[in-house]
Structure 1
Amino acid sequence: MDTDACLRQPEPWFFSLAILGALYVAAFACRLFHISGLALCLCQPKDLRRSYGAWAVVTGPTSGIGRSMAVELARRGLNLVLVGRDPAALQDVSDTVSSAHGVLTKTVQFDFSLVSTPQGDEAMGRLREAVAGLEVGVLVNNAGVAKPGAVYLHEADAEAWVRMVRVNLWAMTEVTAAVLPGMVERGRGAIVNIGSGAAEALPSYPLYSVYGASKQYVAQFSRSLYVEYTGKGIDVQCQAPLYVDTKMVVSMVTWGGYVSQVVMPTPDAYAGAAARCIGHRYPFCLPNLGHRLQMCFNQFVPGRILVVLCFRETLQQRAMHLPRS
């Protein structure tokens, strides 16, 4: 037996490969830590009123995530400007948060599908008037629509796509532009834009092409504003939920009854996690732990497989909502 061979030092290339392997593992661990949002679990929630101001503006606050976000922010002591299209539903939310948490409220009727029309300009004027003189510290751009749902592009009339773009994209931009000047003047504020985890987790979103594209706009818009305004004391964040147990989602999915709340949390559970993330300097995040784990899982699945599975699901959704002959 050649004892010299046994004692021979490893070749230099072995050390190079070992170093490269260690760097790869470290990079993978950092990426997993970032994607999973585990760093957010280590952050303490901010006192939003003390950090940013006494008032919050919430769009689309009458149901689902928006309503739960309004209640959660009121629970944290913020007065609310509630902006939506249904006056009766707005008043109901206003009465609920006022009686439960003793906060002040204002309501602004605004049908976001009419933004940049004469009626929309009038509503935008009412919003600017409502926030004038208020210390608006937090803006939650939650209003969004997924109608007409899972359809091929040619199956819906053009006006349906225009309405979706107005609500999901245009209105969010105009409301943000209306609230930002006051934040800049005071040197503090937080803007939360509700995007979509599906638009981020999937290479494409077939049969929801316009919806997915509009939510990609939300993410890019938020990331860019984050860079523009972080030096002015304003924290901008896109929060991107996957499925949450809301009317909009229940009408979309075909498997909702078989999924636990870990995968599809209630709006209240989601809102609690979302509020804890506000102010922590992540331009993009998935507040819910179950959603973050789903995103991590998607990183290990080839994109082609994800697209095939997604298309199969959206085709089932389309078939479910087709008129029966």
Structure 2
Amino acid sequence: MQPTWLLALSFLGFLSFLTHSISLLNWVFTTFLRSPKNLNNYGSWALITGATDGIGKAFANQLVRQGLNLILVSRNLNKLKTVSAEIRAQFPHLKIKVVAHDFSGNLSAGVGLIEEAVKGVEVGVLINNVGITYPRAMYFHEVEEEVVKGIIRVNLEGTTWVTRAVLPEMLNRKRGAIVNVGSGASIVVPSHPLYTIYAATKAYIDKLSRSLYVEYKLRGIDVQCQVPLYVATNLASKVASIEKSMFVPSPEDYAKAAIRQIGYEPRCTPYWSHAVQWCFARLLPDVLLDAWRLSIALRRRAEVLA
């Protein structure tokens, strides 16, 4: 007869194995097998900030394939016209509005433009994608005042006030989906040295999203924070020297995965290899992750200063 302690240990081992197996199966289902929601059920329009480059532009290209009309928001009017023309060439039956505004400037004016753009249209999906980071890896005391103010205005205040501008009409219709693009810099790793303010603003986005998810879930509004790791965008290139790979998707590949997750969990990492990296990161002690992040930042800093 086996000792009681050995039976208890075996039972605990079995429970641990069962728990991890269920988590793995759930991840496979939600990432690859679960049917995406019909985004048209939220409304016939989508609004995307930071819509002319990278993830924002890729989101726009995916949402029109869902049959949604678009409100594209970005600071560069010429780029907005170019992206709008490209989309219209493929989807001439869809409507597109453009709003040119630099969120690092007069935020009230930009929010006013957005409020005007959403009048009379059913914005069912909001993608808060706009974001900026440091021009290079910098210690906290080195960051210029205007850079600090710009990052806070764009990443933190921009997302907050755009959400507040779009939310009331969603509440009137009792349906809507809000996606805030966060960052692994604030969630997956315990620190993001030499890009501290950027990471802190993205941590705010995560907390904002989770709280809004709880506030509005029962009122028909699905709020989600999507947490990508590196994606091959111009923004990411300021943080590390990266190229598209199995672990660094293109914006298009990321957006395809991200669209499938809208309307489900309050926080998700849509791209499969990002989720795998997050899983392994959670197994490492914080001291190793801190040292790894610092080494990347210092190497990037040395490349720029060389």
What's 2:20 paired with? 28
Structure 1 gaps of 5+ residues are 1-8
What's 2:86 paired with? 96
Amino acid in structure 1 at the alignment position of 2:6: F
Amino acid in structure 1 at the alignment position of 2:208: F
The within-5 A match list for 1:129-140 is: 129-140=116-127
Amino acid in structure 2 at the alignment position of 1:140: I
One of 42, 51, 54 as aligned partner of 2:33: 42
1:32, distance to aligned residue in structure 2 (A): 4.9
One of 55, 58, 64 as aligned partner of 2:48: 58
1:276, distance to aligned residue in structure 2 (A): 1.2
State yes or no: 1:286 paired with 2:278. no
One of 216, 226, 230 as aligned partner of 2:213: 226
The within-5 A match list for 1:122-201 is: 122-201=109-188
Q: TM-score, normalised by structure 2?
A: 0.95
Amino acid in structure 2 at the alignment position of 1:90: L
Root mean square deviation, CA, Å: 1.6
What's 1:5 paired with? none
Q: Alignment partner of 1:61: what SS?
A: coil
Tell me the number of residue pairs that the alignment of Structure 1 and Structure 2 aligns: 305
Q: Decide whether aligned partners of structure 1 residues 165 and 201 sit closer, same or farther in structure 2, where only a CA change above 3 A counts.
A: same
Q: Does the CA-based 8 Å contact 1:37-1:285 persist in structure 2?
A: no
Amino acid in structure 2 at the alignment position of 1:269: D
Partners of 2:169 and 2:136 lie apart in 1 by 37
Q: Percent identity?
A: 43
1:277, distance to aligned residue in structure 2 (A): 1.0
1:37, distance to aligned residue in structure 2 (A): 6.3
One of 265, 286, 296 as aligned partner of 1:313: 296
What CA deviation, in whole Å up to 9, does each residue of 1:236-260 have, x standing for no partner? 1111111111112223313x25xx5
Partners of 1:37 and 1:224 lie apart in 2 by 27
Q: Does the CA-based 8 Å contact 1:55-1:79 persist in structure 2?
A: yes
What's 2:100 paired with? 109
Q: Decide whether aligned partners of structure 1 residues 125 and 37 sit closer, same or farther in structure 2, where only a CA change above 3 A counts.
A: farther
1:81, distance to aligned residue in structure 2 (A): 0.5
Q: Alignment partner of 1:92: what SS?
A: helix
One of 49, 64, 80 as aligned partner of 2:70: 80
Q: Does the CA-based 8 Å contact 1:32-1:296 persist in structure 2?
A: no
State yes or no: 1:246 paired with 2:233. yes
1:31, distance to aligned residue in structure 2 (A): 4.7
Q: Decide whether aligned partners of structure 1 residues 151 and 31 sit closer, same or farther in structure 2, where only a CA change above 3 A counts.
A: farther
Q: TM-score, normalised by structure 1?
A: 0.89
What's 1:262 paired with? 246
State yes or no: 1:10 paired with 2:10. no
1:97, distance to aligned residue in structure 2 (A): 1.2
Q: Does the CA-based 8 Å contact 2:134-2:195 persist in structure 1?
A: no
1:196, distance to aligned residue in structure 2 (A): 0.4
Partners of 1:306 and 1:37 lie apart in 2 by 26
State yes or no: 1:216 paired with 2:203. yes
What's 1:4 paired with? none
Q: Decide whether aligned partners of structure 1 residues 251 and 37 sit closer, same or farther in structure 2, where only a CA change above 3 A counts.
A: farther
Name the larger-Rg structure: 1
Range with greater deviation from structure 2 (306-315 or 40-49): 40-49
Amino acid in structure 1 at the alignment position of 2:39: L
One of 258, 272, 297 as aligned partner of 1:274: 258
Partners of 2:240 and 2:143 lie apart in 1 by 20
1:23, distance to aligned residue in structure 2 (A): 2.2
Partners of 1:83 and 1:37 lie apart in 2 by 34
Amino acid in structure 2 at the alignment position of 1:290: S
Q: Does the CA-based 8 Å contact 1:56-1:79 persist in structure 2?
A: yes
